[in-house]
Amino acid sequence: MARPAVFDSEQLLDAAVRLAASGGPAAVTMSAVAAEAGASSGSVYHRFAGRTALLAEVWLRTVEGFQDGYFKALDAGVDARQAGCAAARYVIAWSRAHPEQAALLLYGAEDFGRAKWSEEHVRRADRGNQRVRATLGSLTADLGGEGPQAAEQVALAVVDLPLSLVRRHLRGGGRLPAHAEDLAERCAAALFDSLHGP
């Protein structure tokens, strides 16, 4: 009943991911995305209300894709310590499997223009953040940690520290070494143990 689409949103977002991975959020312009996907600028504007919306979509799709597996990894372990270690490993494994998307994750929502996002996009971002906060809060409790400092230490162990490891290797075009998962897990475990230890 109508002309079939040649370019769908996913294709254009894929192009945006490639651009952001190699040149940062600033490289994601409407015309660059069009060129990267082999489309015209009109096609990009047909799918996205403007650059602000495109940046929000590419960020949210990436973060939500990452979080999907992240929560599964956290649920898998038999005890809290194993769950936390699995989460730390997952950050590395996912980044190894999706290096371009991982490069996106090393930026923040602010770098993708969060200040200009629509309410709907902000809500989607907040929902994800809220879910992470809640999950890490109960992980902290299960690990025997108490107070905001303990929660922060756990967040560092299972989010920031693995991401730092990714940043250290992906910035500069390299790949993640084979031992990265082990290193992330060892560091996370050390931080878990120091929650009560001496």
Partner DNA sequence: AGCTATATAGAGACCTGTCTCTAAAATAGT
Partner DNA sequence: ACTATTTTAGAGACAGGTCTCTATATAGCT
* Residue at token pair 């194993």: 82
Largest CA distance in the chain: 71
Beta carbon nearer to DNA, 43 or 140: 43
Interatomic CA distance for residues 116 and 122, integer angstroms: 9
Shortest Å, Cβ 112 to a copy of itself: 10
Per CB under 8 A, contacts with a copy of itself among 151-180 are: 152-153, 155-156, 160-161, 163-165, 167-168, 171-172, 179
Of 131-150, binders to a copy of itself (CB under 8 A) are 149
* Binding site partner of 183, from a copy of itself, DNA, none, Cβ cut-off 5-8 A by kind: a copy of itself
- Residue 109: which residues within 8 A CB-CB, separation 6 or more? 59, 63, 125
Q: How far is the CB of 106 from DNA (least distance, A)?
A: 21
Span near DNA by CB under 7 A; candidates 43-51, 91-99, 140-148, 173-181: 43-51
Smallest distance from DNA to CB 119, Å: 17
Q: Interface with DNA includes 115 (CB under 7 A)?
A: no
Residue closer to DNA (CB basis): 53 or 150 = 53
Contact 143, 192 (CB under 8 A): yes
Q: Are 25 and 111 in contact (CB under 8 A)?
A: yes
* DSSP type of residue 156: I
Q: Provide, for the chain, the percentages of residues in helix, strand and coil under a 3-state DSSP scheme, each rounded to the nearest 5.
A: 75, 0, 25
Q: Is 97 in the site for a copy of itself (CB under 8 A)?
A: no
